[in-house]
Amino acid sequence: MGALKVHQNLVDEKTAEEMCSLCPFGAITYEDGKLDIGAGCRMCKICVKKGVPGVITYEEDKSPLIDKTQWNGITVYAENEEGRIHPVTYELIGKARELAAVNGQQVYVLLIGNGLEKAEEELLHYGVDCVFSYEDAELTEFAAALYADVVEDFVTKVQPSVMMFGATMKGRSLAPRAAARFRTGLTADCTILEMKENTDLVQIRPAFGGNIMAQIITPNSRPQFCTVRYKVFSAPKRNEAVSGAVKKMDVPREKMSSGIQVLDRIEKPREIDIADADTIVAVGRGIRSRNDLAMAAELADLLNAQLACTRPLIEAGWFDAKHQIGLSGRTVKPKLLITLGISGSVQFVAGMRAAECIIAVNSDKNAGIFDTAHYGIVGDLYEVLPVLLRHLKGGAR
Ligand SMILES: Cc1cc2nc3c(=O)[nH]c(=O)nc-3n(C[C@H](O)[C@H](O)[C@H](O)COP(=O)(O)OP(=O)(O)OC[C@H]3O[C@@H](n4cnc5c(N)ncnc54)[C@H](O)[C@@H]3O)c2cc1C
């Protein structure tokens, strides 16, 4: 990264006028004999390339290169609720072990909360080298600022190369706060992670509405922060034997401060999450009217499945947003996924390609969904579905 520098000694009324009119974003202004670059600047550098030579220059950031050998270990943040570990933690541990094997790094788990004894022990069944445990009554309830203080303490003391968080509500709140404290990069919602020999983490995720896969690296700062959604990676098998160690950490009370006080906790009725479903029936714009959803709902009932949908049906107000599969919805990994009248856009497929068995029904034989599906039925869902329902109910053809 670098910055634009204005050389005021070369600025007069004429050059100022020329520079101001050159900026396509209107970010250059001239006031009281001073040329200024405002917040509207998009760093297109047209002023440097096409402006009056030397008036605005681009200065490369001269910050020293970090010593990567001083930053070691891949850390997974173990999200937990009173010691109950969120399953995304195990998926991240599985990936962390793969990444660590590339250059012989250690796998760490960072556990923050209260009543953590069982969680500490359980994590040692998953092949981690060390569980760093910060336990305190003040940490019983998740508070992003407080937890970020603890993450900061951990990173300062342990100097891990990578910090991995689940892209859950809490992970999404905590990871950027902690990353900002170290002025380092964070890549959200990674779908692929690869490790280079020099410990640079290649963080791959869809960008520009899923039209490209961006490869993002953080070559000149540490740690490298990333978040990964639940169900993107597979959890490793639990080992019968335990390995690794638990290290109880001193809670940095003097550094901890939060403007939030938890007064009460009211349990919400547990919602069914399509991300946890083993069987899903997903509907798309091939369904003509809201009333016709009843057919799909009947199929879901018969299969003991969850009903999910594509984004246009959310936009039409037919479903709650929690039912959307895809890039801007949920990532699912069921054993069986049946799609009805879904074209298979990249954004939809990004959220379901890991399903074990995909059966697609679409009237267009060229629909993209057939590239992803294991079984395809080319046909009108209004003809296919009634036959399927009759069969499942044990009726005649
Ligand atoms: C930044 C961004 C993020 C997005 N995120 C998501 C996301 O998370 N999830 C998502 O789903 N979309 C997302 N979208 C929208 C996405 O691009 C598609 O528009 C959407 O997935 C299409 O939904 P669909 O397949 O239901 O509709 P369509 O693309 O319109 O497909 C309908 C399909 O139904 C078939 N059909 C029609 N009639 C019948 C019938 N009678 N029987 C059988 N088949 C029939 C047609 O052949 C067609 O293939 C996103 C878009 C952007 C730009």
pLDDT in tens, 4-48: 999 999 999 999 999 999 999 999 999 999 999 999 999 999 999
Residue 196's CATH number: 3.40.50.620
**Computed over its alpha carbons, how large is the radius of gyration of the chain?**
26
116 found inside a domain: yes
Domain match, 166 and 278 both:
no
Tokens of 259: 């403007």
- Asked if the model's pLDDT at residue 151 lies above 70, the reply is yes
Same-domain status, 108 and 244: yes
Q: What is the pLDDT of residues 75-113, one digit of tens each?
A: 999 999 989 999 999 999 999 999 999 999 999 999 999
Residue 298 lies in a domain: yes
Asked if residue 264 belongs to a domain, the reply is: no
In a domain, 241, yes or no: yes
Say if 166 falls within a structural domain. Answer: yes
Complex-level ipTM beyond the 0.90 threshold = yes
Ligand 1 pocket list (CB less than 6 A) = 209, 284-286, 310-312, 324-329, 341-343, 345, 347-348, 351, 361-364, 367, 380-382
Q: Ligand 1 pocket: which of 281, 332, 347 to mutate (most atoms <8 Å of CB)?
A: 347
Q: Residue 395: pLDDT band by 50, 70, 90 thresholds?
A: low
Number of the ligand 1 atom closest to the C-alpha atom of 367:
49
Q: How far is the CA of 63 from the centre of ligand 1 (A)?
A: 46
Q: What is the pTM of this model?
A: 0.77
Q: How many domains does the chain have?
A: 3
Counting every residue written for the chain, the total comes to 397
Report the chain's mean pLDDT, rounded to a whole number.
Answer: 94
**% of the chain surpassing 90 pLDDT:** 88
pLDDT in tens, 288-342: 999 999 999 999 999 999 999 999 999 999 999 999 999 999 999 999 999 999 9
Atom of ligand 1 at shortest range from CA of 380 = 42
Residue range of the domain that includes 156: 68-255
64: helix, strand or coil: coil
The pLDDT tens digits of the residues spanning 187-214 come to 999 999 999 999 999 999 988 877 889 9
CA of 251 to the centre of ligand 1 (A): 49
The reply to whether 266 falls in a domain is no
Residue 18: exposure state from Cβ atoms within 10 A (0-12, 13-18, ≥19): middle
Task: Please report the atom of ligand 1 found closest to the CA of residue 285.
Answer: 26
Residue of 327, 337, 349 to test ligand 1 pocket, by largest number of atoms within 8 Å of CB = 327
CB environment 121-135: b (16+ within 10 A), e (fewer): ebbbbbbbbbbbbbb
Q: CA angle 90-94-100, nearest 5°?
A: 130
> Does 46 share its domain with 94?
no
258 confidence band (pLDDT: 50, 70, 90): confident
* Alpha-carbon span 130 to 111, nearest angstrom: 11
Among protein residues, the one whose CA lies closest to atom 49 of ligand 1: 343
